[in-house]
Structure 1
Amino acid sequence: MFASGALRMEEPGRIDHTAVLSARDFGRLSRFIYDTCGIKMPDVKKTMLEARLQKRLRALGIHSFTDYCDYLFSNEGLEKELVQMLDMVTTNKTDFFREPDHFNYLSHTVLPDWVRKHPGATLAIWSAGCSSGEEPYTLAMVLSEFALNNPGFDFRILATDISTRVLEKAKNAIYQESQVEPVPFELKKKYLLRSKDRSSGMVRIVPELREKVRFRRLNFMDEDFGMREHLDIIFCRNVIIYFDRPTQEKLLQRFHRNMKPGAFIFMGHSETLSGLDVPLVSVYPTVYRRQK
């Protein structure tokens, strides 16, 4: 049941579409979002938040943002609505082979050195904030190509996101042809399947790559990421820009705890670790390494 009080409900599709997010309710929501997932919601984000959450008001048949907040903060809301709300407010922008110099550095510098030092081992890599799957599948392509010239090399990829909505897309591994344009032609032939309905303009990642990627939901604000093993490489690109500096520092310290000595972390080109108290050293533009 809903929280006690006069929660005004209407039939879905018949609510007041002009519901306005007041400064008070925006403050309640922005504080809650920051406390829950570390994302800052400055005042300039108010219009964006209002527009995105209108979808949830319509889906639930809730009349106002005040009532929505009351429901969200109730026991039932925290259980049933929290993930839905976070899906609406998180930004998920990614592409195949985004920031391609990172993949060149991975293939030509990081992997050859790793194979020499860890013969017969399995590389453990984490795509943190994987969105709809373009990054982990790009990694799977790059690592599979490296494996062709390095017999015995194997890898596994963990891909996580806070949004269940984009994780479902990632698991399905189905993309529009326009989305895979950055994939080199030779890799398209190997790793993408065209739909039987050629007019659909859809492709799917081949099963061999899909089997290499394990998806699960993860909130960066969790103290324990639930990792069963320490990692060799982390890709966390264009994610920490949504957090304030204290939250960035805490998050990177948690990453560090889950990295093997000498492990690498790849950040986005708009992100910097400068001024943060984390034991990581720069080895390449926006690529850092855990000190031994």
Structure 2
Amino acid sequence: MSAYLTRADLRAAASSSTGQHLDALRRLVHERTGIVLPASKATMIEARLRKRFTDLGLANLQAYLCTIFDGGQLNQELPHIVNALTTNKTDFFREYPHFELLEKRIIPEALARARASSRVRFRLWSAAASTGAEAWSAAMVLASAATAEPRLDWRILGTDISTEVLQTASTAIYSAVDVAPVTEGHRAAYLMCNGNRARRLCRIRPELRSRVRFRKMNLVETPYPVEGGIDTIFLRNVLIYFEPQMQARIVGACAEKIRPGGYLIVGHSESMIVKEPGLAQIAPGVFRQEGGQ
């Protein structure tokens, strides 16, 4: 599924009357991203697009919709619309038990599988990375484990549909409020902070940044252009925004990338969504791929 609009898309959108533009926008977002925006979300849509139409000097959402649909600006504005309407709620070490499981079970299992003298390859994918807090939290856990076990060769891929949040993730600069959940030990080891307490900014250290990369990817566009054999996929708190058929499709596409014995981790409230054959639940939001040791 392409994020680029065809001429047919443009003609259909342009033919809509002003009163139908919001419905057309909701349908378009659903088609391109899989995200469901019911009619009851009209106020939320306006609030999220307000900064964009204000930046363009437009008085209100109606003027913005007329401009993009009737003015032929839909292709140009689509990335801004996706950035604004995708949910980007994330925190460092959110749903902490998942990171505790990574530290105390998943990484030790990977080390135990390998011979004592061999390099241990470990790959983690943050599939709805948002601003990067999840990926960087996992990076701190993995880096800490690698300090004790230097043979642990870890890498992280973070993906998201929003180019705006990916820019933040790649830059890896956060406020003191953002990094408040990070422990003092991890903060000292993996963050570089400056400024006074009220205006302090912190950046992830280069040794972690060299092992983590981010790129744009749309979860509804399967199969995924991601290398297989992944040890752990974090797919947390994103499935709830999709319809059941798309949820199953996304979970199945992720399962194809997980090595035997590897893990899929979803949000605590999303456990009931995962019904993929071969994935066995072992904890709230945590599923293990069949096979392996």
Aligned partner (choices 54, 61, 76) of residue 58 of structure 1: 54
Aligned partner (choices 80, 83, 86) of residue 87 of structure 1: 83
Flag structure 2 segments of 5+ consecutive residues without an equivalent.
Answer: 1-9
Residue 127 of structure 1: how far off its partner (Å): 0.6
User: Aligned letter for 1:246?
Assistant: Q
SS at 1:102 equivalent: helix
- Where does residue 112 of structure 1 map in the other structure? 108
What whole-Å deviation, never above 9, does each CA across 1:48-95 have from its counterpart, x for those lacking one? 112222333334456342332345xx5x632x3221110010110111
Residue 252 of structure 1: how far off its partner (Å): 0.5
What whole-Å deviation, never above 9, does each CA across 1:104-160 have from its counterpart, x for those lacking one? 111111111111113423101101111111111111100011112223111000001
Residue 188 of structure 1: how far off its partner (Å): 0.8
Given the superposition, is the C-alpha separation of residues 109 and 251 from structure 1 closer, same or farther in structure 2, using an over 3 Å criterion? same
What whole-Å deviation, never above 9, does each CA across 1:262-282 have from its counterpart, x for those lacking one? 210111111124573443110
Of all paired residues, the percent bearing the same amino acid is 36
RMSD: 2.3
- Within a 5 Å distance, the mapping from 1:202-221 to structure 2 comes to 202-221=201-220
Given the superposition, is the C-alpha separation of residues 239 and 151 from structure 1 closer, same or farther in structure 2, using an over 3 Å criterion? same
- Where does residue 264 of structure 1 map in the other structure? 263
- Where does residue 6 of structure 2 map in the other structure? none
| Partner Cα separation in structure 2 for residue 248 and residue 138 of structure 1 | 25
Flag structure 1 segments of 5+ consecutive residues without an equivalent.
Answer: 8-20
- Within a 5 Å distance, the mapping from 1:125-274 to structure 2 comes to 125-195=124-194, 200-274=199-273
> When the two structures are superposed, what TM-score results if normalisation uses the length of structure 1?
0.86
Give 4+ residue runs of structure 1 displaced > 4 Å after superposition. 196-199
| Partner Cα separation in structure 2 for residue 64 and residue 267 of structure 1 | 36
Q: Contact conserved, 2:53 with 2:64, CA < 8 A, in 1? A: yes
| Partner Cα separation in structure 1 for residue 271 and residue 153 of structure 2 | 31
Q: Contact conserved, 1:136 with 1:159, CA < 8 A, in 2? A: yes
- Where does residue 74 of structure 2 map in the other structure? 77
> When the two structures are superposed, what TM-score results if normalisation uses the length of structure 2?
0.85
Given the superposition, is the C-alpha separation of residues 22 and 102 from structure 1 closer, same or farther in structure 2, using an over 3 Å criterion? farther
| Partner Cα separation in structure 2 for residue 64 and residue 50 of structure 1 | 10
| Partner Cα separation in structure 2 for residue 223 and residue 191 of structure 1 | 35
| Partner Cα separation in structure 2 for residue 70 and residue 230 of structure 1 | 47
Pair 1:44 & 2:43 matched: no
SS at 1:178 equivalent: coil
